[in-house]
A = this chain, B = another copy of it.
């Protein structure tokens, strides 16, 4: 499930960032191709806002892009978008939920997450933090031990039965990731090593970063 529900406010662009051209094609196509290459037999579900279905289909046609996929409509929040995507997923096997704006995930990370989820139920890629971290409490802030913190990426992988149930039973709808939804329902989350380059593209500088890495074949799928 590739989640592209966002409206791209931060890019100050009239087009949501998942549709922006990156090294020859929209960001979303790079991301989908990562999965279709790394896991060729995976069924691919793309969640985008319904008002962009036509734009997406036009882009696929213009780029003569034929990777097989199913569309699902995005919801109000990320939670709703993922839920709509999961509605098209069966109860057997393992599902990966991945941000559409993370085209730089490595093959190793995808495989590692699928494998760990098959074995343990829920697995996510994480990387250490390079900057010091401060925590804001009331009017002040204090240094937080970054060695105990990890930055969470996607794909977040789950046995389908676990995550479908979690998305049905979760008490809230404003989780920042899928692991938090599973955690709320009592599941333990296995952390696997991510790749540092697997950033979430949200700014023009991120686009330049992604472009130079793709151009230099820095990430192989």
Contacts and interface: CB of A to CB of B under 8 A. Distances in A.
Interface of A: 126, 129-137, 140-144, 146, 148-153, 175-177, 179-180, 183, 188-189, 191, 196-197, 199-200, 202-205, 208-209, 211-213, 216, 218
B130 A202 contact: yes
B142 A183 contact: yes
Contact of A209 (B130, B146, B212): B212
B218 A132 contact: no
B148 A137 contact: yes
B126 A148 contact: no
A148 B135 contact: yes
B134 A179 contact: yes
A202 B130 CA distance: 9
Nearest to A140: B188
Contact of A143 (B153, B180, B211, B218): B180
A97 to B, nearest CB: 12
B133 A151 contact: yes
Contacts of A191: 134, 136, 141
Contacts of A216: 208
Contact of A136 (B149, B151, B183, B199): B149
Contacts of A132: 151-152, 176-177, 179-180
Given A141-B191, A208-B213, A216-B208, A131 B148 contact: no
Contact of A196 (B134, B140, B188, B205): B205
A130 to B, nearest CB: 5
Contacts of A212: 208-209, 211-212
Contacts of A126: 134
